[in-house]
Amino acid sequence: MHMLNGVPLLRIAASSLMIGAGLFLAIWAIVALKSHHTALGSMKNTSRLVTSGPFRLTRNPIYLGYMIAALGVALAANNLWTAGLAVCAAVATHLWVIKREEQFLQARFGYEFERYRRRTRPWL
Residue boundaries of the structural domains of the chain? 3-119
CB 27 within 8 Å of CB 62: no
Query: pLDDT, tens digit, for every residue of 15-48?
Result: 999 999 999 999 999 999 999 999 887 677 788 9
Residue 47: name the closest of 108, 98, 112, 92 by CA.
108
Please list, in sequence order, all residues whose beta carbon lies within 8 angstroms of the beta carbon of residue 52, skipping any fewer than 6 positions away. 32
- Of all residues in the chain, the percent with pLDDT exceeding 70 is 95
Kindly report the pTM of this predicted structure: 0.91
Angle at alpha carbon of residue 73, lines to 27 and 78, rounded to 5°: 165
pLDDT-derived band at 63, boundaries 50, 70, 90: very high
